[in-house]
Structure 1
Amino acid sequence: MTVLVVIPARAGSTRLPMKPLLPIAGLSLLHRTIAYARRALADLPAARLMVATDDPAIVAHAQEVDCDAVMTDTRITTGSGRALAAARLTPTLPEIVINLQGDAPFQPVGAPAALIRALAPPTTDVATPVVRLSWAALDALRDHKRTTPFSGTSCARAADGRALWFSKAIIPAIRDEERLRSAGAPCPIWRHIGIYGYRRHALEQFEATPPTELERLEGLEQLRLLELGFRIDAVEVAPAPFDISGIDTAADIARAEALIAAHGDPHA
């Protein structure tokens, strides 16, 4: 099973131009993401790691830490599209493509390997990690959504781990929540983490299909995969030490630096 792990690193962020090169506590966002990927893939030496970008300065920055990097079309607007473009540039097309977020270096370290394991059976087309929330984490998510309702994605998951749906709303709704809490039942809400593992044929079909109406309404591209009939395994992983999903604004950088100052640097 040939595996390519791609870090999409686009230069043209509206809110943070040249975002991959911006420092967070003295280490660039891209170098942090590469460090995260190398740590996550330490026991998988056959998995190839590559940065896919649209800017030669980002290629050079990746090469400073001996990471392979390729230039992809500047017109590509999604991480999945850039990951597929990188796969097509490799001498041997990979069977499995892992799309790591280039702006999320604080994800659960076990997630990439868990996705690769989940994609070993040929019946699985796509795999993506989820974290079971505690009741306290659910309360915090609800509070967060009062001001930023489209931040944070939940996943409705079948007993066998198959993803049934994803939403920016918190799903499923919970009847008798107080009874469940008082009985010590686990919280039934799963938070989605935006790392994707694809069999290449699924990624090819996904990229060849235009966005669907439900995808546009929710702003979640994985809904297109479900509407195409692909099986997505929602793989449970342990939560990351830092509860910060991505770096999108200057405030996110400040928050990440505060977490590093308080808890130590996972990429030191």
Structure 2
Amino acid sequence: MSAVIFIPARYASSRYPGKPLVELTGATGEARSLIRRAWDAALSVEGVAAVYVLTDDDRIAEAARGFGAEVLMTSDQARNGTERCAEGLAQLDGTPEIVINLQGDAPLTPPWFVEALIAAMRDPSVEMATPVLRTDPETLANFVTDRHAGRVGGTTAVMRGDGTALYFSKEVLPYVGNLETPPEVWHHVGVYGYRPEALRRYAGWAEGPLERAEGLEQLRFLENGTPVTCVPVEARGRVFWELNNPVDVARIEAVLKKEGIA
């Protein structure tokens, strides 16, 4: 099936302005911008026809073109990455069968996460899907630390027995009362797969109250009755974390060095 990857990136992040251009130092001591590292992650995915950076900011566009990325300029009216992907889809000459949204703040996304997502979407009944990862003790501790400190960190997912999503939240769900014997907590991975028609429908829906409260774009699908298929993926020893707050720079750089990622 034909698939394209979009990397939406905006400069005016409310929690971390200028985040896509923040530099992260890898194992060799080389510093690369966050958007460059997201681009590198996208290029490592097999079976993808094209990769594009989507942005409304000239600074991000210039930086992306500087390392060889294809850039699609989108409007400043896009409220989230999914709306930006809908704008990007409208600019393509042809229509791919699958659109992948690899968010620009997730440079530690392993290629097998995205490849598993594409494989899941070979089922024609799946309109929208997203990977989920069972938390390891280190990640769960980071979740709890962030919430106790009043920081909004990663996102958790709660699922039905059939693997479709019940809810996503920036709270730690289910409740973790005792870290020594925690319940199973699933970390939502910031990657989405859409059928083009589902992406177009999304752009026509108003922002819902749950999406607005949580700041999670995928909740608009649930609020409008579109199932979200959660695709369990394996970490294979790699720590996954997004860059949500300045404190995450050190966390991500530590993983880059541990994994030998330049």
TM band (smaller chain)? 0.7 to 0.9
Relative to structure 1, is the Cα distance of residues 232 and 67 closer, same or farther in structure 2, using a 3 angstrom cutoff?
Answer: same
Aligned ranges 1:148-227 → 2 under 5 Å? 148=150, 150-173=152-175, 181=181, 187-227=183-223
| 1:235-254 CA distance string (max 9 Å, x none) | 111237234212543x3324
Gaps of 5+ in 1: none
Q: Output the amino acid matched with 1:257.
A: E
Q: Which residue of 1 aligns with 2:122?
A: 120
TM-align CA RMSD: 2.7
User: Secondary structure of the equivalent of 1:116?
Assistant: helix
User: Secondary structure of the equivalent of 1:128?
Assistant: strand
Relative to structure 1, is the Cα distance of residues 14 and 222 closer, same or farther in structure 2, using a 3 angstrom cutoff?
Answer: closer
User: Secondary structure of the equivalent of 2:150?
Assistant: coil
Q: Which residue of 1 aligns with 2:42?
A: 37
Q: Which residue of 2 aligns with 1:9?
A: 9
Alpha-carbon distance in structure 2 between the residues aligned to 1:168 and 1:19: 19
Answer yes or no: is the 8 Å Cα contact 2:243–2:249 preserved in 1.
no
Match of 1:245 among 242, 252, 256: 242
Answer yes or no: is the 8 Å Cα contact 1:8–1:83 preserved in 2.
yes
Gaps of 5+ in 2: 26-30
Name the % identity. Answer: 36
Q: Which residue of 2 aligns with 1:28?
A: 33
Answer yes or no: is the 8 Å Cα contact 1:206–1:225 preserved in 2.
yes
| 1:50-96 CA distance string (max 9 Å, x none) | 11111334333323333211111122231111111111101002232
Relative to structure 1, is the Cα distance of residues 52 and 143 closer, same or farther in structure 2, using a 3 angstrom cutoff?
Answer: closer
Alpha-carbon distance in structure 2 between the residues aligned to 1:174 and 1:148: 16
| 1:205-243 CA distance string (max 9 Å, x none) | 112111112222333222221121112111111237234
Answer yes or no: is the 8 Å Cα contact 2:16–2:244 preserved in 1.
no
Answer yes or no: is the 8 Å Cα contact 1:103–1:248 preserved in 2.
no
**Normalised TM-score (structure 1):** 0.83
1:108 and 2:113 matched: no
Alpha-carbon distance in structure 2 between the residues aligned to 1:76 and 1:105: 22
Q: Output the amino acid matched with 1:227.
A: E
Alpha-carbon distance in structure 2 between the residues aligned to 1:89 and 1:166: 30
Task: Look at both structures and tell me which one has the larger radius of gyration over its CA atoms.
Answer: 1
Match of 1:228 among 221, 224, 229: 224
User: Secondary structure of the equivalent of 1:145?
Assistant: helix
